[in-house]
Chains A and B, each alone.
Chain A
């Protein structure tokens, strides 16, 4: 069974600085998708970025980018020029491309942004 691990329960970053959130996963599959979701205090789940495992190029979305290391099964999220609005819980998620279509989520990292 696939698992997703986020080993940093909480992180802090100074406004305008860069922070990296870690995520590792375990799978025997070669084709899959990885996601980062943001959950602000409102509890709404917001897609931040998506990575397809068969693509070597790291995904980027404005100030958000990932470092996808397939062999190491690592999928970290880098937030550049951090803003106060980035403060939230961040979840890493895995989705298989076959079978049951389940999404597996990590336990989350709470990001605090300091003014």
Chain B
């Protein structure tokens, strides 16, 4: 049972470098999300995609871009990484319908030096 799969799990970047976090889900969910988790800040929504073909900004979108490649895949791109983007990133998915549970990937640890 794969669920939500994120890659890479660990990455160290230099300031100014770019990278893309990949996410795929095999549950046929319409909605997908990218969160970041920082100590004392909880989970903050970066971007989300309510359905294939749509993306919207969340609480902390600056410095990030996303692509909903198809129903399964939702990638997060850091164009010019900054130390403030050091965090754990979680991809998640859910059915769009009402109160369906959200399912998370295992997280990607990103360090920007």
Contacts and interface: CB of A to CB of B under 8 A. Distances in A.
A45 interface: yes
Contacts of B43: 91, 105
A47 B101 contact: yes
Interface residues of B, number: 25
Nearest to B90: A45
B68 to A, nearest CB: 14
Nearest to B38: A107
B40 interface: yes
B42 A105 contact: yes
Interface string A69-110: 000000000000000000000010101010011111111100
A26 to B, nearest CB: 15
A109 to B, nearest CB: 10
Contacts of A15: none
A7 B86 CA distance: 25
Contacts of B44: 105
